[in-house]
Amino acid sequence: MENFYHSIYLDKELCKGCLNCIKRCPTQAIRVRNGKAVINNKFCIDCGECIRICPHYAKLAKRDTLEILDKFEYTVALPAPSLYTQFNNIKDINLILNALLGLGFDDVFEVSAAAELVSEATIKYIAEHKEQWPIISSACPSIVRLVRVRFPNLIEHLLPIKAPIEIAAEIALKKVTEKTGLPRNKIGLIFITPCPAKVTYSKEPLGIEKSEIDGVLAIKDIYPLLLEALKDTVKEYEDSPMPELSESGKIGIGWSVSGGEANGIVSDNYLAADGISNVIKVLENLEDERFSGLNFIELNACAGGCVGGVLTVENPYIAQTKNKRLKKYLPVKVSSFNNRATTVYSEDVDFDWNKEIVYEPVFRIGNNVIEGINNLNSVEKIVESFPGLDCGSCGAPTCRALAEDIVRGEASDTACIYIFKEYFNFLTLQLSTLTHNMSDASDAGNSIANLEQSLTSFFNKDAAPPEKEEKEEKKEKK
Amino acid sequence: MAADNTIKLHYDVPNDDFTRAGEASSDLKGKLKQMGISPDAIRKVSIALYEGEINMVIHANGGYIDAEISENGLKLVLCDTGPGINDIVQATQAGFSTALEQTRMLGFGAGMGLPNMLQNTDDMIIDSIVGVGTTITMFIKM
């Protein structure tokens, strides 16, 4: 197994061990153990739902700070189109791009410009690969990771084309290398992200060997600085025309909202779903081949699309409205205009994935089928003994999840407070029998032995029960 | 308790509830993945069982499903007390459907149920008595 790097992590100090995240996690990757949340690295897909729900801000996302600009001689900002939807009253994207230069970047190249090229490549791929229909979009890294661990039969449907952020990085690199002549390690390609999943992507991408992204800044981190820079930019160009840096049209800008990518492929036979629980339902149905006649499936882990990412600032639905306003006077697409940098430097960029995605059966409960069958039998039996309330008090999201943990050897059934209560009542009863029998010396010996046996088996539940000793005790009694 | 190295799972299929139709195949699919059954077998099971489940809801007032899984394969028994199948040969032909207009409006009843089930199983036995009910037994090898 490889590529289980995660950008999401826990701040133990801040975690209060509440049950919000374990209930919200779509892959049941979180348990509360010893009063703190624990994330299972193999189950986690970096969707960010736990960050969204945590009331104590204990779930965090790794990312870089602006200081990363000092590490390079020449830096390029690669803004996600969702950045454009975070501001009020901005009608011209060029203003935002010039303000990014004001933050200290040497150059800027839009991910949305690359997205238009990815849309074109997608149209071509869909037309040439009917046997693979419906093609599932692979731009959202969380979706690709979800499919990899949970939907083995859908891996072959994933669009094997690099995501816009990668194409943007590769085009920007070509442009900068030609312009400055600097070696690769002096050039910093910095992506501005709406979500932690793309941080994960930049470190350990799926579908390609290595990403060209050198650093990732969160929209919410640079937002206050950018507000200041925007004011300065407006002042700077009061008397002179602002440089036109944007090379995006409606299609490119549209990628930041759910349905935008599908819009770019100009087809009626598509489905676009957003929000991780909705996405899972669609994938389940796709697996049963319930939809026919579709050629493209766009899936976004965040509700509303990328504008719903946990590292953004604006309400995703307001952001969608702003996205519509921004697009209003733009041409359908710009990137393929001949003299644009996007067109000039994209000529020999390879759009295809170059690494196979392999099914990682992380949810298995046995090393082989026989073990799996027997373990599942045990799970079913344990589940029956539980109250079925899915209360989460044991630290697992559902009774079934606890049963699976027990079979995997990661928990004990006394983690269930209802089972614990039963044991407790049983012990109390034995204790009261003992007290009652104290007056009769001959019965007292038996009661003490019984109580001792119960206590031993109760407290040794985690370890193997001392069966031999118990048998010896029974013999003694006889 | 089931015999060693096999597992038996039981599902009730509710009558006339389209929103719940598919729950059994979805649940079984999840468990097969946990057991480590091959993705190819899982694909066949989920398609065949979903079709069977939908058939029970559309035509037969619901019923029940018994699944028995061992390392060699799956045996799925779908049992209902519905109207029964008049002409089994005709019913297994692609495109033949007795579904009501109302059901077709919902996107079901295209006449692909039994043909799809046949296509995705290694063996299938249809046992049906008109007015009594239908039992379909499907075998899928690992």
Confidence at residue A464, expressed as pLDDT on a 0 to 100 scale: 43
Residues of chain B with pLDDT under 70: 1-3, 95, 98-112
Domain residue ranges in chain A? 1-62, 66-345, 417-477
Angle between helices A369-385 and A399-407 (to 10 degrees): 130
Mean pLDDT of A200-229: 96
In sequence order, which residues have a C-beta less than 8 Å from that of residue B63 and are 6 or more positions away? Answer: B12, B13, B56, B78, B79, B80, B81, B82, B133
Give the ipTM. 0.85
Strands B63-70 and B6-13 turn out to be antiparallel
- The tens digit of pLDDT for each residue in A339-391 reads 777 888 888 899 999 999 999 999 999 999 999 999 999 999 999 999 999 99
Residue pair B92/B58 in contact (Cβ under 8 Å)? The answer is no
Strands B73-80 and B63-70 turn out to be antiparallel
- The tens digit of pLDDT for each residue in A415-466 reads 899 888 888 888 888 888 777 776 666 666 677 777 777 777 766 654 444 4
Q: Per CATH, is B14-141 categorized as 3.30.565.10? A: yes
Confidence at residue B87, expressed as pLDDT on a 0 to 100 scale: 80
Give the best residue of A287, A294, A368, A382 to mutate against chain B (max B CB count within 10 A): A287
Mean pLDDT of A272-301: 92
Least confident range from A156-160, A263-267, A383-387, A447-451: namely A447-451
Residue B2 CA to residue B13 CA, distance in Å, equals 22
Would the CB atoms of B39 and A372 count as touching at under 8 Å?
Answer: no
Task: Select from A359, A377, A404 the Cβ nearest to the Cβ of B7.
Answer: A377
How many CB atoms sit inside 10 A of residue A209's CB? 8
Residue A316 CA to residue A198 CA, distance in Å, equals 18
Query: Does residue A267 carry a pLDDT above 60?
Result: yes
Confidence at residue A463, expressed as pLDDT on a 0 to 100 scale: 44
Residue ranges in B1-142 assigned as alpha helix (H): 23-35, 39-59, 88-91, 101-105, 113-119
In sequence order, which residues have a C-beta less than 8 Å from that of residue B89 and are 6 or more positions away? Answer: none
Report residue A296 as tokens. Answer: 């493209």
Would the CB atoms of A376 and B42 count as touching at under 8 Å?
Answer: no
Q: Which residue has the tokens 């957003």?
A: A274
Domain residue ranges in chain B? 14-141
- The tens digit of pLDDT for each residue in B74-109 reads 999 999 988 888 888 777 777 677 666 666 666 666
Confidence at residue A190, expressed as pLDDT on a 0 to 100 scale: 98
Confidence at residue B91, expressed as pLDDT on a 0 to 100 scale: 78
Query: Does residue A142 carry a pLDDT above 50?
Result: yes
How many CB atoms sit inside 10 A of residue A410's CB? 15
Query: Does residue A268 carry a pLDDT above 60?
Result: yes
Residue A434 CA to residue A446 CA, distance in Å, equals 9
Using a CB–CB cut-off of 8 Å, the residues of B that contact A are 1-2, 4-7, 9, 22, 25-26, 29, 31, 33-37, 39-40, 42-43, 46-47, 50, 69-71, 142
Task: Select from B4, B35, B50 the Cβ nearest to the Cβ of A288.
Answer: B50
- Which CATH code for domain A1-62? 3.30.70.20
Q: Which chain B residues are Cβ-neighbours of A373 within 8 angstroms?
A: 5-7, 35, 69-71
A12 confidence band (pLDDT: 50, 70, 90): very high
